[in-house]
Structure 1
Amino acid sequence: MNDTTAATDALAALRRELGASGCLEGADLPARNRTDWSFLPQTSPRAVLRPTSTEEVARIMRECHAAGFSVTPQGGLTGLCGGARPVDGGVALSLERMSGIEAIDPAGMTMTVLAGTPLERIQTAAAEAGLYFPLDLGARGSCAIGGNLSTNAGGNRVIRYGMTRDLVLGLEAVLADGTVVSMLNRMIKNNAGYDLKQLFIGSEGTLGIITRVVLRLFPQPACTSAALCVARDYDAVLGVLSAARQKLGPLLSAFEVMWADYWHQATERVGVRAPVSMGDGSHVILIEMQGLDEAIDGARFESLLEHLLEEDLVQDGAVAQSLTDIAAFWATRDAAAEFANPEIIGPHISFDVGLPVSRMDEFVTRAKASLSEGMGCHSVYYGHIGDGNLHVVAWVPGADPQPIPEASRIVYGLIGEMNGTVSAEHGIGTLKKPYLPLSRGPAEIDLMRRIKAAFDPEGILNPTKIFD
């Protein structure tokens, strides 16, 4: 933050431009805008700016660029890595007032939305139009689509539909100097030069501020089938995954796996009803299929389950008979959202990592032992195993703050050794910044820095994130 007369004048100009509700300072500065869901301490930004249009975002960036203000873009503030946490003395640019569905094109199967629109609102609007937007994650009611793009969010159905970047056809972004770059493409095929939108997706607001998005829609599934299965070991899990891929093909929409330690936390501590008995099994698998014809596709799902039993790949299972059952199955997987409750776990450390699917159980065994023996740290494991994404929840009972650096060195050290990634779907932010070299080589990081310098030579956009 440049605390010069020019900076003070710039803030005064923005105050006049945006009005009292658009420029919050001092006692009016909301506590929620001082950090995100990363459990990092709150910071002290000088102001929270709340534009209502792309034009206002552009004016904000022109003033901040000229004055040397650091600007941290914010969406729903549900990030776990500190990516939306503003720097002291800078400004937070919240897109919460830029929310709304601008257009739905049923023929082209696209939706154009403002970047501050909550994900759940987009899902609902698509459904009301008889279409489907497949991005889905636990924070759907709070997270904003601009934030989903800036972190290239993954979620529950990546195995079928891909990451967020696979669901975006076009976008509009404002650069550090206030230049508006409109790339609101609505076509699947468009090879006219560089695909510049991909530079902004996953860049965590360090290259520009996404203001509008063109999303790709899909046919609304006509039927959904789901089952919870208990496997005796990880080899059986891999056998179930292989069978699901072969029997269901592109209809397989989710393949979630919960290790025994996570399952017991979810069903015994959180109190989510257990649709199956784990017995002496090692993993519980949630298989979901989205089809277009109940008679045909439902039979495919039944055939898969018969195969799993005949091949002795599962020990027990439960098949959903209704949408209520499906929601109950997913409740076991989503129980991690309750872990922060002091009566369950309380303060804890969350890791979002990626690994070759064949090595996940090896990682879990080694990480659990190292965390326990090295620092008395408990840990549980679950994730989107079908697409190589594992989640780890770790905690030292009674510790506040939790030993994030010590646990991170253990977890990310193993990830680097096993050729995984320190971030599968939550970005780098500040928490993972020291460990980026474990997943990206020197030449890659150097190229990232050069791109950053080209887009933001003054370094005002979301500084301190991803790399120094």
Structure 2
Amino acid sequence: MQRNHAGTTRSDAAIAALREALGADVVSAPPEFGSRQVADWSGTPAVQPVALVRPRTTDEVATALRICHQHRQPVVTQGGMTGHAGGACVLNDEIALSLERMNGVVEIDPVSATMTVLAGTPLQVVQEAADQAGFMFALDLGARGSCTIGGNISTNAGGNRVIRYGMMRDQVLDVEAVLADGSVIGGERKMIKNNTGYDLRNLLAGSEGTLAVITRAVLRLRAKPRAVSTAWCGMPGYEAVTTLLGRAQERLPAGVSAFEVMWPSYCNFIRARMPELRVPLAGDHAYYVLLESCGADPERQAAAFEEFLADMLEAGVIADAAIAQSESDAAAFWAIRDAPGEYPRLIPGRISFDISFAVAQAGEAAQRCDERLRARWPQATILVYGHLGDGNLHVVVQEPGWTAETIGEVQRVVYELTAEMSGSVSAEHGIGEEKLKVLPLSRSPAELAAMKAIKLALDPYNLLNPGKVIAA
């Protein structure tokens, strides 16, 4: 921390200027915000910010960043703190900029099928507002009650419905954001087609707060499904899993809205640790698939869904299946898949991986990963599951008493395999600080140089979320 001749630090001067411009209600010091959460769900070590800024408007965000830019004061933007890569963690002498007060739905335009929201609005609030307006907001993930729209865009969140609706960037038509120097870009454009040069909206999606602070967004709404069919399927092998996916996409009138695959290791672990969850099928299977199809014709949807599953059973593609007969049945199926929300209680000290491969390779990748890990750590708990319709695997590894050195070795095994199979070290959780060193396994030197050039152009003093996504 740099001090001047009067003994004050750069941060002291920045905080004083921020307080003068925005007031103590917006800018608070550590004694005033006390034991506030400073780390996200990744477990990345974090320190207390030198100050907490909680703006209420875009103008206040712009003022805060302009002052921080003048004083060369680093800033970390924070949303719901549910990230898995350390992207929202304060690492050094940084100010935390929380968007928690910028919370709410600004407008719903039913003709354009859009919703304009402030960046601090929780995902679940957006989902419920869309539902009340007769629409659906397509993004869905387990942290829906805590994660925020700004964080969802910044990390380009994935979740359960990517196979049909795409990632978070596919749900966004425009963003308003504040650059490092306090300049405001973007607005409230509601067009699906907007071919006017570089797409700054898509550039900011996935930038994890390193290029700008997103303050509001125009979201794309979808027609609300009038019929949702859900099945829990026991599968005889991985080839049957991919066959089911292809045939479901081809034959189901409404297509596939979710295709979640769980390995026995995951299901057996959840059954043992959470006996209150209802098990849809008796017996054991090589794989389990949670299949969902959303459509507009309830009668035709249900009949087509049941006929399709009957055909798959007769053909031997499916070994057994249970169809949800009610919303509560479907919720019970999803409760098993959403159980990772209980990981802090069920499997403390875990090492989690969010990796992706071509769908055709995902089964082999999971098998090779399990074999290599068990060869080194035969007593470890290893869980595998994922959004297989988009090639995303989640691998969770834990063994009591692991040292930091061992954790590094486990990560090396998984990430080296990912690189060997031309996979991605981060499918949907971002890079943050946690995956900064392994990013070169999935990005070429030329790609990293291009990313660094973009960062330098928009944030020349490296003030926005330094030490995240791209090395300085």
* Shorter-normalised TM range: over 0.9
**Is this contact kept in 2: 1:33–1:48, CA < 8 A?**
no
Please tell me whether residue 311 in structure 1 is matched to residue 315 in structure 2: yes
The corresponding residue for 2:193 is 189
The corresponding residue for 1:426 is 429
The corresponding residue for 1:416 is 419
Aligned equivalents of 1:52, 1:325: Cα separation in 2: 41
The corresponding residue for 1:407 is 410
**Is this contact kept in 1: 2:230–2:324, CA < 8 A?**
yes
**Is this contact kept in 2: 1:110–1:186, CA < 8 A?**
yes
The corresponding residue for 2:294 is 290
Q: Residues 307, 202 of structure 1: CA spacing in aligned structure 2 closer, same or farther, 3 A cutoff?
A: same
- The 5 A counterparts of 1:52-451 are 52-248=56-252, 251-277=255-281, 279-341=283-345, 344-376=346-378, 377-399=380-402, 403-451=406-454
**Is this contact kept in 2: 1:379–1:395, CA < 8 A?**
yes
Deviations 1:138-197 (A, max 9, x none): 000000000000000000000110000001000101000000112321111111222111
SS at match of 1:392: strand
SS at match of 1:381: strand
**Is this contact kept in 1: 2:138–2:161, CA < 8 A?**
yes
Please tell me whether residue 456 in structure 1 is matched to residue 430 in structure 2: no
Structure 1 position 273, deviation (Å): 2.6
**Is this contact kept in 2: 1:183–1:197, CA < 8 A?**
no
Structure 1 position 249, deviation (Å): 5.6
2:429 partner letter: H
Aligned equivalents of 1:415, 1:254: Cα separation in 2: 24
Aligned equivalents of 1:203, 1:273: Cα separation in 2: 37
Q: Residues 314, 3 of structure 1: CA spacing in aligned structure 2 closer, same or farther, 3 A cutoff?
A: farther
**Is this contact kept in 2: 1:419–1:439, CA < 8 A?**
yes
**Is this contact kept in 1: 2:352–2:395, CA < 8 A?**
yes
Q: Residues 215, 234 of structure 1: CA spacing in aligned structure 2 closer, same or farther, 3 A cutoff?
A: same
| Structure 1, unaligned runs of 5 or more | none
Q: How many residues align?
A: 466
What's the TM-score once normalised by structure 1's chain length?
A: 0.96
1:365 partner letter: Q
SS at match of 1:434: coil
Q: Percent identity?
A: 49
Aligned equivalents of 1:273, 1:111: Cα separation in 2: 35
1:49 partner letter: V
Aligned equivalents of 1:427, 1:239: Cα separation in 2: 30
Structure 1 position 19, deviation (Å): 3.1
Q: Residues 412, 346 of structure 1: CA spacing in aligned structure 2 closer, same or farther, 3 A cutoff?
A: same
What's the TM-score once normalised by structure 2's chain length?
A: 0.95
1:260 partner letter: P
Residues 299-308 or 167-176, more deviating: 299-308
Structure 1 position 20, deviation (Å): 3.1
Structure 1 position 31, deviation (Å): 3.8
Aligned equivalents of 1:21, 1:147: Cα separation in 2: 23
**Is this contact kept in 2: 1:24–1:49, CA < 8 A?**
yes
2:414 partner letter: V
SS at match of 1:304: helix
**Is this contact kept in 2: 1:372–1:378, CA < 8 A?**
no
Q: Residues 212, 82 of structure 1: CA spacing in aligned structure 2 closer, same or farther, 3 A cutoff?
A: same
**Is this contact kept in 2: 1:270–1:339, CA < 8 A?**
no
Structure 1 position 2, deviation (Å): 4.8
Structure 1 position 462, deviation (Å): 0.4
Aligned equivalents of 1:441, 1:185: Cα separation in 2: 34
2:398 partner letter: W
Structure 1 position 30, deviation (Å): 4.5
Structure 1 position 25, deviation (Å): 1.5
Aligned equivalents of 1:154, 1:440: Cα separation in 2: 20
**Is this contact kept in 1: 2:281–2:322, CA < 8 A?**
no
**Is this contact kept in 1: 2:263–2:287, CA < 8 A?**
yes
SS at match of 1:72: strand
Aligned equivalents of 2:78, 2:18: Cα separation in 1: 18
Deviations 1:279-335 (A, max 9, x none): 241111000011101112222211211111111111111110000001000001011
Structure 1 position 404, deviation (Å): 3.3
Aligned equivalents of 2:408, 2:20: Cα separation in 1: 43
Aligned equivalents of 2:405, 2:387: Cα separation in 1: 25
Aligned equivalents of 2:300, 2:47: Cα separation in 1: 55
Q: Residues 2, 118 of structure 1: CA spacing in aligned structure 2 closer, same or farther, 3 A cutoff?
A: farther
